[in-house]
Chain A
Amino acid sequence: MTLPFLSIRAVRKAFGAFVAVHDVTIDVPKGEFLTFLGPSGSGKSTTLYAIAGFQDPTSGDVLLEDKSLLLVPSHRRNIGMVFQRYTLFPHLSVAENVAFPLRVRRRPDAEVKRKVADMLALVRLEKFADRYPGALSGGQQQRVALARALAYDPPILLMDEPLSALDKKLRQEIQTEIRRIHRETGVTILYVTHDQEEALHLSDRIALFKEGRIEQIGTGEDLYLRPASEFVAGFIGNSNFLPAEHLETENGTAKVRLADGSIIKGVKATHALGRGQKARLMVRPEAFRLTPVPGNASLAVEIVDTAFFGDRRRVVARTGSGDEIDVRPTSDTAEPGGADAASGRQIFFDPATAFLFPA
């Protein structure tokens, strides 16, 4: 087996009695775009800072091509980083900002000039070379920061929520830019965000953090289609959780009883559950249908509200036991019939797309 390019080994960071990061271990192949996703305070940024050298881990190691980074001071790690805050040097022009890492490395003038031009072309800001950071928009500043971080061809680029200060439209625009730049440069990127859409848009793999531990690591599809826990299912995409009682598991499929008494058969059994154990059945909103499909399970519901969103309808349904369900069928399926037809309606889903988690 070849050695991993970057290896984070059992990194732990404690602040007094509080453990921010619990023995996080990840291997990152060269060229990968890996995102640390998680709510604030889940340890994702702390892990990134340990790699950057701003925080020394309490224990564990970070190896780059089999050499420990921890003994190398921050400024000699040769790592690129884009911060959450705007960190351009305010007294230097855009070109001088991008040149700064090359100047401190004492590269010859000709090389600096060429590299600065290349980098500004990469982020498409050639025309802004002589501007000062104060005259740039937030999105432009972060693109310059990206150019500055890549100017010295670092083996790894760290990005700590670089788009969180920008508005949604601009965020998506720059995400597309970041994808292109990742493709063009092939640099290995570790990206921190709390925005699941951003993570899904950008990443090859996502490491989902919860309370200082990695809850699940995998591609966006892995996390969405095969969530390892209720937390993952709840964090990635939209989900409905219905209280259920596990009746039995046979041949890898489980049978459960919901709170309203209905029995659902054929749910994928991913967790070992005892007979009669309390559980939660997770169904994605888009998995529901308003018309019967052979082999689907059905739920008797009352329609509380319905709205049209172009490509989707959004229906709020309520089960007999009072649990609200978010239903988002594609809009070409039938109109649920409004409030008059409210009682006695049924909604349908394929039990194989549902998940059962211990409560």
Chain B
Amino acid sequence: MLLDYDRLGWLRAALAGFTALVAAFLLLPVVFIVLLSFGSSRWLAFPPPGWTLKWYQELLADPAWIDAALTSAKIAAMAAILAVLIGLLASFSLVRGEFRGRQLLRGLLLTPMVLPVVVFAIAIYAFFLRIGLAGTTTGFVIAHTILALPFAIIPIATALEGFDKSIEDAAIVCGASPLQARLRITLPSIRIGIFSAAIFSFLASWDEVVVAIFMASPTLQTLPVKIWGSLRADLSPVVAAASSLLVGLTLALMIVTALLRRRLSR
């Protein structure tokens, strides 16, 4: 091989250094935010003069923040459920279907992942304004479901492709109707894919900010929108605390996913 890691010599150290630099570049801001959220300085000074939990107390005492978090969770949960349901049906037709334009449909369903978010945001905002869905929970959920769909379809379709259809046929010969066979045999067999789809769709909505900024109204704000808004108004460490909670929940979900995947794929 042209680039054999074992034969790079001194370049190995350089490569390791560069990798560490990239990792630091990606991770340091997150680490800083978390550290600052525990710092006692009003002005986000680093290093902090002392340590405190008061920003978290302030955060949890403010109904606006709690509201935003609940709104985010509610929208993300609904978008995840819808994305998984639609993703399941779409995956069956994309993987099992034999019809013209199947590849085209697959491409279309996956576009939200590659389309610049701001383009999508403007388009759907303009459309929702016209039909009166802008600034509503329904509008939020629809927009986020579309964005989350590729994250639901990819793991489900992959799991379904890896599932031998003979197993479903066996269930049918055993006496299960085609629907029963799918519900009782196929779905449980691809549960890892469905579970990943749910987590990824939830996260796709949970930390989405561009579409959310367009969709938000003064009374309907998700957590990322609230953080963004607060940052612009005043640079309080409360924002750092909110961001840390956002990071914490995301991290927790990823860890739960990894653990469950390991347990399920026994």
Contacts and interface: CB of A to CB of B under 8 A. Distances in A.
A104 B176 contact: yes
Contacts of A100: 171, 174, 176, 184
A152 interface: yes
A169 interface: no
Nearest to B176: A104
A48 B175 CA distance: 17
A104 B169 contact: no
A78 interface: yes
Interface in B139-164: 164
Main SS at interface, chain A: loop
A75 B172 contact: yes
A104 B180 CA distance: 9
Nearest to B186: A89
Nearest to A49: B169
A265 B29 CA distance: 98
Nearest to A87: B170
Interface string B244-266: 00000000000000000000001
Given A75-B176, A105-B175, A90 B170 contact: no
A79 B188 contact: no
B188 A87 contact: no
Nearest to A132: B266
A1 to B, nearest CB: 31
Contacts of A101: 174-175
Main SS at interface, chain B: helix
A73 B178 CA distance: 10
Given A75-B178, A105-B175, A87 B169 contact: yes
Contacts of B19: none
B161 to A, nearest CB: 15
B173 interface: yes
Interface string B227-253: 000000000000000000000000000
B221 to A, nearest CB: 41
B173 A80 contact: yes
B196 interface: no
Interface string B96-140: 000000000000000000000000000000000000000000000
B167 A90 contact: yes
Nearest to A158: B173
Contact of B189 (A73, A85, A91): A91
Nearest to A80: B173
Interface residues of B, number: 21
Interface residues of A, number: 30
B169 A54 contact: yes
A77 to B, nearest CB: 8
Interface in A48-84: 52, 54, 73-81, 83-84
B52 interface: no
B57 interface: no
A54 B167 CA distance: 13
B191 interface: yes
Contacts of A73: 177
B177 A75 contact: yes
A101 B185 CA distance: 12
Interface in B183-233: 184-185, 188-189, 191
Interface in A75-114: 75-81, 83-91, 100-101, 104-105
A89 B176 contact: no
B173 A74 contact: yes
Contacts of B266: 132, 134
Contact of A104 (B174, B188, B191): B174
B164 A85 contact: yes
Contacts of A76: 175
Given A91-B191, A132-B266, A152 B175 contact: yes
A87 B166 contact: yes
Contact of A81 (B173, B176, B180): B173
A64 to B, nearest CB: 15
A83 B188 contact: no
Contacts of B173: 52, 74-75, 77, 79-81, 149
Given A89-B189, A132-B266, A74 B172 contact: yes
Interface of B: 164, 166-167, 169-178, 180-181, 184-185, 188-189, 191, 266
Top 6 A-B pairs ranked by shortest CB distance?
Answer: A87-B170, A101-B174, A91-B188, A81-B173, A85-B166, A104-B175
Given A75-B175, A89-B188, 19 more contacts: A73-B177, A74-B169, A74-B173, A75-B172, A75-B178, A79-B173, A83-B166, A86-B164, A87-B169, A89-B167, A89-B171, A91-B191, A100-B171, A100-B176, A100-B184, A101-B174, A149-B173, A152-B174, A152-B175
6 contacts: A78-B175, A79-B173, A88-B167, A100-B174, A100-B184, A148-B174
